[in-house]
Structures are given as C-alpha cells and as structure tokens.
C-alpha cells in the first residue's frame, strides 16, 4: 500500500452498483475535513506560452514601438489581466518549439539576433526579438514563477547547463558575465525546468528507455548555483494513457534527480475531426466532455504507478499541457491553432480543475494550453482590442483554491446521458484558507438543472455568498463586438437548513460558494 493518502472525489454513479437501480434525482456531497489533507498547490493554476501562432508575437508581445500601451513591448492590458488572475507560473518557450529553440539566439541587441523558422507552427520566420530577458522580465512584472522548457531534442547538455548558469548564477562565470553584458546584473533565480518536451513525439520520437537515459545525463549536470537544491526538474512525461512511459521514468530515474513527471492530455471531439469551436451539437459536446473527464482516470492510474516507485510522494505529477483543442477559426492559419472559447470550455476548465484539486496530494503543478490566442486561451486579442474568455473567468473564480487546504468530499451524482452513454453530471471540490471555505460546483448537463445537497455538519457553516458563470447556450462566447457577454454574476439559488446546503445549478454552469 502507498504511504500517500489520496483524497479523490468519490463519484457514485446512478448506473453503478453502489446506488439503487432507480436513477438518482439529485447530487449529494458529504464533506470530510481532515488534518492530513494536502494543500492544493497554487502551481496547479499555471499557464503556458509557446512560440505558436499569435501567442507571443501579436499576442503578448507587440514591441516597444507599438501604439498599443506596453511595458518593454508586452501589452499592458494583458499584464493587468494576468495579474488579476493571479497566475502562479508561466511555461515558455514551448511545447514543440522548445526542442528547436537555441536560447543564445534570443539575447543581446535585438537588431543583431538571428532569425528562426518555426518549423512546427505555420512555417513563419521569427526575429527572436522576444527572448530570455523579455520573458523573465515579464514574469517579474507579473510576480509569477517562470517555467523554462529546455531543448533536449536538438540541443546539448552544454547548451542547457549554460542557460541555467546564465539565468541563475550570481557570481563570476562566463555566462553570468554574458548576462551582465546584456544589462542584467542580478540573476533571476529560475526554479522550474523542463528537461525537453514530448520526447515521445516532436521532442525526438524517442522510446521511454532512451529518454530516461538522456534525462539522467542532462539532470546530472543541472545545478542551481546556490547549493540549496532549489531547482525543480521536470521530466518529459506521458502522452495521455501511455502508462509504460511513466513506469519506465519512475523505475529508471533516481529520485534525487527527479522532481516532477509531466503528463499531456487534450479534450476534443475526435483527434482526426476536432470540429468547430463554436458550431457544435450536443453529441459533439458530450464526446468532448468524455475526453475531458478522462483526466480523472489518467491522473489516478499514473499516480498508482508513481506510488509504486515513490511511496512518500516526492515526485509531483505535472500536467503541463491540458485544455480543449478544436479546428481553427475560418480564415486563420491552420498552424496557428486560433480558436474561440465557449461555455463548453468553461465546463472543461471547471471539471478539470476540480479533478486536480481532489488529486492534489500528487498533482502539484499544471499548465493550461495556452494563455493568449492559442487553443483554450484565457485571453484573445485583435489589433488593440482584448477580451477575456469564459475559461479566464472560471480560473479567476477558482483562484480561491490556490494554496488552500483541500477538504475531501464524497460526491454522488446523477447521470448526464446522451444516447446509451453516460457521464457524471456534477463535479465538485472544496478547500479552506484564511478562515474562508470555498466549494466549487459544475453541472455539465446540456439541458437539465441539477439540485445538489451538501451536508455541512462537519464544517458548521451557515452564511454563504456565491458567483456563477452561465449563459443561454453552450455555444455562447465573448466576441470583440460583445466582450462581456459571459461574465461571473452573483448567485443566490441556494439555501441552508438543518446543516444542509441545497444548491440548484442551471445547465452547463459553474458556481463557487464562499463561507466565512
């Protein structure tokens, strides 16, 4: 048996053997506060910024000469929005791009930097005007931890370790001297490092065994230059349900060289036919939610493997790419992965974050893909215009869980049924911090409201306030013509009686309740 306690939400489906044969008419939640429950690591709420489409250029970065208000070339409205969101970490420069990126091309005078052709995303030529200093200075402005994904696929150990020295060495060394020549005296102190990306695919099409040996080599030469052991080394982990990959990494890599193992999983209709981001029917929505809720199984099974080799839970599961993936918007570059963001994406965000919260004993970092103008973005831009997506609003509502103590729950939920297939209609997680208790609820049902009864006797809570994110249609989204069509609103459709909180959730809605 593992020495780690897992506080996963228990889903007791109406079709399962733990409930009567008659369909359950309402969802019930029992809270089980525990002194041994884990803290929900704030880094679960991380983000991802790749050199892909208009994420960096014409997204974050417009250049210092732009008429759009900016700080060192980065849009001020994006900076303000991400500060408000309280993002704990930001991953860069990829993604697939990371294993073709050579960091020295992105330092020094911008006019002297060589160009690069982005072979993965659209074949565009980039001028390297956004590089290491630009990204790390941005992270300082945002007060967020940088997460650098380093080049293993086409790089070298020397290149990798010199990058660490460049950004982290405080004394005299060749790379710190080079940094000072480029007008940065003090090191940034970067903690999070990805040792390559998707080594099973665009990072080199490697076998797990080959990558495990490469990882051992690279991580051996990584040093934080302060003798504090502050580097957090993250191995390129599995693609979805490739449990063999996780098994090999956990078995073959010494734990003194390993702090995190990544996992990538996206939500879509089918991989071959992802469908429109806005023009989808209920069956396509249901299928997308099947892949999103598969995260529960993925996290559980990868955790079981990690428990076998790491029973004390030293190594974190890092889900550093997740989110919805659909066909690009009509008329846009297919290599830019630009898509709209609807209430379907709000459902993906709310349910996925609940899964991460409930598995926070092992899941201690994650990164939504991606921040601006790519995939399930929290921000979209068009010229000088900017809008916040439904996903942004869900993550802002959920930020109350960052570094809060998990409250384990037992959840019994009705089914959401389409055809002969079913999904749990309700998703939930709960936490407490600074004397405030928060319960986040999601109803994914496309048509029916769901009643949720929460037994609060173990918490003795009475006075609640709440916010809701909802809309008239699943396909609704915020446009540049109507950027505030979907925003959080005050929610009052709940009552407390005899220690039971009864909440009525509209179809496809997200609700976060707070009690002091």
> Tens digits of per-residue pLDDT, 373-430?
999 999 999 999 999 999 999 999 999 999 999 999 999 999 999 999 999 999 999 9
> What is the distance between the alpha carbons of residues 77 and 59, in angstroms, rounded to a whole number?
11
The residues that bridge with 379 in the sheet, in sequence order, are 372, 388
Q: Is the domain of 207 the same as that of 227? A: yes
382, 404, 426: which is the final residue of a domain? Answer: 404
To the query of whether residue 198 is one of the catalytic residues in this protein, the response is: yes
Domain presence at residue 167: yes
Which of 145, 198, 296, 450 is labelled catalytic?
A: 198
Domain presence at residue 396: yes
> Tens digits of per-residue pLDDT, 312-339?
999 999 999 999 999 999 999 999 999 9
Q: Is the domain of 359 the same as that of 503? A: no
Domain presence at residue 4: no
Residue 20's pLDDT is what? 36
The residues that bridge with 363 in the sheet, in sequence order, are 317
* pLDDT exceeds 60 at position 15: no
> What is the distance between the alpha carbons of residues 375 and 460, in angstroms, rounded to a whole number?
42
> Tens digits of per-residue pLDDT, 203-227?
999 999 999 999 999 999 998 876 6
- Please give the span between the terminal C-alpha atoms of the chain, in angstroms, as a whole number: 37
Q: Is the domain of 32 the same as that of 102? A: no
Domain presence at residue 159: yes
404, 421, 449: which is the final residue of a domain? Answer: 404
Domain presence at residue 361: yes
Residue 171, φ and ψ in degrees, nearest 5 = -95, -155
Q: Is the domain of 261 the same as that of 278? A: yes
Residue 227's pLDDT is what? 60
Torsion, Cα 485 290 431 489, to 10 degrees, reads 10
* pLDDT exceeds 50 at position 118: yes
Q: Is the domain of 327 the same as that of 392? A: yes
Q: Is the domain of 34 the same as that of 166? A: no
Residue 230's pLDDT band (boundaries 50, 70, 90)?
Answer: confident
Answer positive or negative: Cα dihedral of 117, 118, 120, 121: negative
Domain presence at residue 132: yes
Q: Is the domain of 362 the same as that of 444? A: no
Q: How many domains does the chain have?
A: 2
Residue 23's pLDDT band (boundaries 50, 70, 90)?
Answer: low
Q: Is the domain of 254 the same as that of 394? A: yes
Domain boundaries, position 20: 10-38+407-515
357, 372, 404: which is the final residue of a domain? Answer: 404
Domain presence at residue 395: yes
**Percent with pLDDT over 70 in the chain:** 95
- The CATH number of whichever domain residue 330 belongs to comes to 3.20.20.80
> What is the distance between the alpha carbons of residues 503 and 449, in angstroms, rounded to a whole number?
10
Q: Is the domain of 58 the same as that of 123? A: yes
**Percent with pLDDT over 90 in the chain:** 92
- The CATH number of whichever domain residue 494 belongs to comes to 2.60.40.1180
The residue among 349, 353, 356 whose CA lies nearest residue 391 is 349
Torsion, Cα 90 96 100 103, to 10 degrees, reads 0
DSSP 256: G
Domain presence at residue 5: no
Q: Is the domain of 228 the same as that of 341? A: yes
Q: Is the domain of 118 the same as that of 247? A: yes
Other beta carbons within 10 Å of 12: 16
To the query of whether residue 282 is one of the catalytic residues in this protein, the response is: no
Q: Is the domain of 26 the same as that of 47? A: no
């Amino acid at each position: 048996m593992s020495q780690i306690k897992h506080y996963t939400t228990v889903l007791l489906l109406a079709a399962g053997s733990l409930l009567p044969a008659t369909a359950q008419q309402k969802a019930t939640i029992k809270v089980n506060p525990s002194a041994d429950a884990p803290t929900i690591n704030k880094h679960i709420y991380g983000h991802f910024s790749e050199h892909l489409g208009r994420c960096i250029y014409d997204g974050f970065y417009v250049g210092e000469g732009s008429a759009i208000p900016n700080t060192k070339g980065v849009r001020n409205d994006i900076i303000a929005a991400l500060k408000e969101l309280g993002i704990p970490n930001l991953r860069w420069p990829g993604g697939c791009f990371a294993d073709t990126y050579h960091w020295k091309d992105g330092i020094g005078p911008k006019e002297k930097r060589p160009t690069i052709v982005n072979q993965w995303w659209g074949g565009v030529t980039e001028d390297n005007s956004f590089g290491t200093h630009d990204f790390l200075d941005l992270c300082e402005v945002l007060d967020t931890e940088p997460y650098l994904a380093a080049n293993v696929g086409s790089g070298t150990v020397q290149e990798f370790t010199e990058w660490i020295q460049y950004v982290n060495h405080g004394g005299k060394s060749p790379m710190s001297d080079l940094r000072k020549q480029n007008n940065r005296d003090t090191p940034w102190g970067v903690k999070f490092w990805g040792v390559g990306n998707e080594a099973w695919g665009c990072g080199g099409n490697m076998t797990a065994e080959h990558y495990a040996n490469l990882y051992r080599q690279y991580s051996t030469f990584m040093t934080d230059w302060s003798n504090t052991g502050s580097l957090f080394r993250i191995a390129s982990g599995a693609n979805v349900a490739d449990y063999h990959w996780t098994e090999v990494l956990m078995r073959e890599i010494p734990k003194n060289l390993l702090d995190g193992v990544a996992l990538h999983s996206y939500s879509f209709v089918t991989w071959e036919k992802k469908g429109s981001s806005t023009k989808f029917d209920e069956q396509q929505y249901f299928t997308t939610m099947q892949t999103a809720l598969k995260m529960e199984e993925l996290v559980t099974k990868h955790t079981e493997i990690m428990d076998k080799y790491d029973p004390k839970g030293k190594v974190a599961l890092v889900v550093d790419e997740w989110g919805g993936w659909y066909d690009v918007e009509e008329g846009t570059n297919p290599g830019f992965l630009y898509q709209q963001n609807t209430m379907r994406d709000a459902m993906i965000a709310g349910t996925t974050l609940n899964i991460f919260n409930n598995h926070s004993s092992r899941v201690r970092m994650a990164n939504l893909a991606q921040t601006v103008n790519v995939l399930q973005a929290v921000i979209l831009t068009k010229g000088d215009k900017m809008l916040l997506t439904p996903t942004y609003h869900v993550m802002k509502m959920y930020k109350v869980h960052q570094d809060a103590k998990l409250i384990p729950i037992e959840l019994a939920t009705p089914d959401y049924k389409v055809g002969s297939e079913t999904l749990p209609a309700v998703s939930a997680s709960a936490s407490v911090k600074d004397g405030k208790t928060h319960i986040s609820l999601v109803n994914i049902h496309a048509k029916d409201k769901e009643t949720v009864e929460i037994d609060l006797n173990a918490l003795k809570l009475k006075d609640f306030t709440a916010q809701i994110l909802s809309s008239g249609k699943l396909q609704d989204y915020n446009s540049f013509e109507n950027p505030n069509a979907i925003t959080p609103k005050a929610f009052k459709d709940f009552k407390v009686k005899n220690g039971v909180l009864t909440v009525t959730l509209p179809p496809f809605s997200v609700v976060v309740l707070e009690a002091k």
